Amino acid sequence: MTRYARYAVPALACIALQAGCANMNMDSMTQAGGSLFSAASLSDANVKTLSDQSCAEMDKKNTIAAADSTYTKRLANVMSGLGNTGLPLDAKVYMTKDVNAWAMANGCVRVYSGLMDLMTDDEVRGVVGHEIGHVALGHTKAAMQVAYGTSAARGALGALGNPTLTALTSSQIADLGEQFINAQFSQRQESAADDYSFDLLTKNGANRQALASAFRKLASLDGGQSSMLSSHPGSLERAKHIDARLAGGK
**CA 127 – CA 87 distance, rounded (Å):** 17
User: 52 pLDDT band (50/70/90 cuts)?
Assistant: very high
175-212 pLDDT, tens digit each: 888 889 988 888 899 999 999 999 999 999 999 999 99
Give the count of domains, the chain. Answer: 1
In a domain, 63, yes or no: yes
Pairing of strands 108-112, 90-94: parallel
Neighbour order of strands in the sheet with 101-103: 90-94, 108-112, 101-103
Task: Please tell me which residue, 37 or 93, carries the higher pLDDT value.
Answer: 93
- pLDDT of amino acid 15: 29
User: Among 31-35, 107-111, 167-171, 203-207, which is the least confidently predicted range?
Assistant: 31-35
In a domain, 3, yes or no: no
What would the DSSP string read from start to end of 151-215?
Answer: HHHTTTT-TTT---GGG--HHHHHHHHHHHHH----HHHHHHHHHHHHHHHHHTT--SHHHHHHH
In a domain, 41, yes or no: yes
In a domain, 39, yes or no: yes
In a domain, 1, yes or no: no
Show which residues are catalytic.
Answer: 131
Task: Please tell me which residue, 188 or 4, carries the higher pLDDT value.
Answer: 188
In a domain, 162, yes or no: yes
Residues contacting 204, CB < 8 A, separation 6+: 81, 82, 83, 84
In a domain, 2, yes or no: no
Q: Which amino acid is at 79?
A: M
User: 157 pLDDT band (50/70/90 cuts)?
Assistant: low
User: Among 9-13, 28-32, 222-226, which is the least confidently predicted range?
Assistant: 9-13
Q: Select from 40, 48, 11, 17 the least CA-distant residue to 153.
A: 17
In a domain, 163, yes or no: yes
- pLDDT of amino acid 39: 65
Q: What is the residue range of 115's domain?
A: 9-248
- pLDDT of amino acid 223: 52
- pLDDT of amino acid 80: 96
Sign of the alpha-carbon torsion through 133, 139, 141, 147: negative
* Mean predicted confidence (pLDDT) in 224-244: 72
